[in-house]
Amino acid sequence: MLPNKRREFLKGAGLGVLGVSLLSQGLRVHAAESNMLNIALVGCGGRGGGAVFDAMNPATGPSKLVATADVFEDRAVNMTKALNERLGDRAGVPPEQIFHGFDAYKKAIDCLRPGDVVLLASPPVFRPMHVEYAVSKGVHVFMEKPFATDSPGTRRLQAACRAADEKNIKIASGLMWRHCAARQEAIQRIHDGEIGEIVHLRGFRLEGGSVSIGKRRPEVSEIEYQLRPFRQFDWAGGDIFVDCCIHNIDVACWAKDAWPVKAIGFGGRSRPNHWGPSFDTWYAEFEFADGTHLSSHMSMRPNCFNMYSDFAHGTKGAAVLMDNLRQAKSRLYKAQSMLPENLLWVYPGQEPNPYQVEHNLLFDAIRNDKPYNEGHRACEANFASLLARAAYNSGKVVSWDEIVKSELKLVDDIDTLTFDSEPPLKPNADGTYPYAIPGETIAF
């Protein structure tokens, strides 16, 4: 299945999942062309399945899914079965090219030729290692966000991205909002001075739901238990705020045209007995070199006010960078009061689906040999998100330099991790997990 947020966008854009599937049947007319690209999927969750459909849309040109991989056998088998059924002769991944285990990514990438494409959507703790291997094999990369779970991992990814430049390997990142036409025009207008100098930015992801993960069954290893709901464990997924708000932070820094120099933050839990180690409420405030601030808010609590929007405030007016997830509806105002009579500009018409656009651009760069590497910017956005996490977990002011140079490694050696490995985070005697305590936790 496509992830909920992706399905929500497609529904809002009038391109439901079935619509994408039907459109992609147009690939069959290209089957005889010589520019067929083979695709491998590494990471068979909802994000991976969504990436396959976007990558195999007619707009990207002829391609075929030839291999799948996941740490978990059930996910690899079930996703492949669904994709084979939906994609027909454009998939047909044979049983011998459905891989599982911690080295499955190598086996899937090894099914590709140099110049083919791998879609990386496994938990982000593996992302630097997977990108590194793909680049070594001459394979182009689409990588989902987040991109690493600690600073050493992010620096490892940076090195792989530099190697990709040297080998002319194309890399696309899952920060698809950079490819949203409405945001692009709004931010260009901001850069052109239409709302004056930016003085403050705000991002909100306030939603219902729960971060509870339930108790571990005795037959399930700690590594498996923590990897499946990876967002709740910092070492595996970065944490929920990093996973979700990297988008909002990236867009705000794009609007500001700068990365922050420091941050403070706060976090907490309203339900302390929910087993997992994660907060359910987060706040980070970033400061830029000129003193401008970005405030980033997130919560996951049922029966509370919900909001998923981004704003910029300038000396001459204000902007809505995103109104809601389904459609950004970006617009500018000539005052801080965002009333109809103060409207300066609104993005006209239907917004193209940025999930699709990001793949169109990658495949166009591959087929026409254009320079393309979003990995460098992705790493900067990752550092910014880790900066927030370090601030709200430690309770301290954390600088950009401190997080970029941090040697704190959440997993000792990801390259040799197995289900029998010592878990990076060990449970308490009652089966609950220790969580960050500001003022005590070493977070960077």
pLDDT in tens, 206-250: 998 877 788 889 999 999 999 999 999 999 999 999 999 999 999
Q: In sequence order, what are the residues at sequence separation of 6 or more whose Cβ sits closer than 8 angstroms to the Cβ of residue 233?
A: 226, 227, 239, 276, 277, 278, 424, 425
Q: What is the CB-side half-sphere exposure of residue 59 using CA atoms within 13 A?
A: 15
At 133, give phi and psi (nearest 5°): -70, -40
| Domains recognised in the chain with CATH numbers | 4-177+356-374 (3.40.50.720), 180-349+383-416 (3.30.360.10)
Give pLDDT tens digits for 258-269.
999 999 999 998
Average pLDDT over all residues of the chain: 91
**What are the helix (H) ranges across 93-149?**
104-109, 127-136
Rg (CA), the chain: 21
Alpha carbon distance 381, 89 (integer Å): 38
- Its pTM stands at 0.92
Over residues 293-321, the pLDDT tens digits come to: 999 999 998 899 999 999 999 999 999 99
Question: Counting Cβ atoms within 10 Å, is residue 387 exposed (0-12), middle (13-18) or buried (19+)?
Answer: buried
Question: Minimal CA–CA distance to 399: which of 230, 264, 249, 200?
Answer: 264
